[in-house]
Structure 1
Amino acid sequence: MPKDFRATTLERAVGRQLAGWRNERKLSLTEAGQRVGFSSAKLSMMENAVQPSAPVDVMALGYVYKVPTPEWQAVLLRAQHAERVRASTLNNALNFDPAADFANLVFEASRMCAFTTDLVPAVLQTPRYTNAAMQNDDPVRIVRLAMVREAWATRLNGKDPLVVQVVFPESVLRQVIGGPRAMKAQLLHLMEISEHPTVSVQVVPHSAGAYPAMGSPFTLLDFPHRQHNDVAYLETFIKAEYVEDPVLTEQCAQRFTSLQQLALAPGESLELIAEAAAEPSCTGVR
Structure 2
Amino acid sequence: MPKNFKSNLQNRAVARALALWRKESGLSLDEVTQRVHWSAAKTSTMQNGLVPVLDAEVAALALVYGVDGVRRDPVFWGAQRALDPMTFDLLARGTAHCVGWTYPEVEAEANYVRVVALDILPPLVWTPEYAIALKSAQVEAVSEQGHRHYPEVHRTSAVDQLANGPSLRMDLILSEAVLRRAVGGPLVMADQLFQLASFAQLEGARVFLVPDKRGAFAGPASFAVLSFREPQFDDVVYLDSLHGGTWLESELERRPYLDTFERLLTVALPEAVTTGWIVKAAQHFKDNATV
The TM-score, its normalising length taken from structure 2, stands at: 0.62
2:116 aligns to what? 115
2:257 aligns to what? 252
Mark the runs of 5 or more structure 1 residues left unpaired by the alignment.
1-80
1:241 aligns to what? 246
1:51-200 aligned at under 5 Å gives the runs 85-88=89-92, 92-96=95-99, 98=101, 101-135=102-136, 136=138, 137-139=142-144, 140=146, 143-144=149-150, 146=152, 148-158=154-164, 160-200=166-206
Give, in angstroms, the shift of residue 116 of structure 1: 1.4
| Cα distance in structure 1, aligned partners of 2:88 and 2:159 | 41
Q: Which amino acid aligns with 1:87?
A: L
Q: Closer, same or farther in 2 for the Cα pair 1:280/1:226, shift >3 Å? A: closer
% of aligned pairs identical?
22
2:275 aligns to what? 270
| Cα distance in structure 2, aligned partners of 1:144 and 1:278 | 28
List per-residue Cα deviations over 1:2-61 (Å, max 9, x = no partner): xxxxxxxxxxxxxxxxxxxxxxxxxxxxxxxxxxxxxxxxxxxxxxxxxxxxxxxxxxxx
List per-residue Cα deviations over 1:255-279 (Å, max 9, x = no partner): 1011111111111111111111121
8 A Cα contact 1:110 1:224, kept in partner: yes
Q: Closer, same or farther in 2 for the Cα pair 1:83/1:97, shift >3 Å? A: closer
The TM-score, its normalising length taken from structure 1, stands at: 0.63
Give, in angstroms, the shift of residue 241 of structure 1: 0.8
Give, in angstroms, the shift of residue 248 of structure 1: 2.4
List per-residue Cα deviations over 1:70-123 (Å, max 9, x = no partner): xxxxxxxxxxx998644236x64334455xx22111111010000112101221
Report which stretch shifted further, 269-278 or 225-234.
Answer: 269-278
Q: Does residue 220 in structure 1 map to residue 225 in structure 2?
A: yes
RMSD: 2.6
| Cα distance in structure 2, aligned partners of 1:204 and 1:117 | 9
Provide the secondary structure at the position in 2 that maps to 1:259: helix
Provide the secondary structure at the position in 2 that maps to 1:221: strand
| Cα distance in structure 2, aligned partners of 1:102 and 1:115 | 15
Which of structures 1 and 2 has the bigger CA Rg? 1
